[in-house]
Structure 1
């Protein structure tokens, strides 16, 4: 089952990699803009991006400017979309692995 799942997961990731990449580029780009507005270092901006995008929100870095706060909302929404996409890909891969395993069992029992 694991082999079928990994194969199906890699296939799904390969198909959806442009979408994953696009969302990550939007998140990181927006995070750097927020960092620029807030005069944060690059590593702080990247950290803020992923803490916000993963909806963890420690609160140690908080945007003060209105535009930066609006962009933080975009980062958070993008993170939610990315998380949902990852979950959907995993479920789809699990379903595909289950179908493939059932087909293999059917072929081996029919022989």
Structure 2
């Protein structure tokens, strides 16, 4: 029930129709592929291939691609830079983990 309520709120946060939404976790993606500091995030694909990660606790949106960043910059959607949620990459000190696995998973929601 909580997930359904969060989904309804997330739909209200967006100004455009959502093509897809999915909750993913560190367990789903594997520790090596998980780039976030949280254990679980929601992924969304908005109309026009606009990809966001959403903190399911606060409903803050984090743009995952240039299209999403452009919408946030233009004030058409709300969002916070994703770097605030990225974990450090232990294999590459001073760098953050790659978003590539998350972006690939979010892009599947657009189909």
Same fold (TM over 0.5): no
Query: Where is the helix percentage greater, Structure 1 or Structure 2?
Result: 1
**Based on CA coordinates, which of the two structures has the bigger radius of gyration?**
1
Which of 1 and 2 has higher RCO (CA within 8 Å, sep 6+)?
1
Higher strand share: 2
TM (normalized to structure 2)?
Answer: 0.25
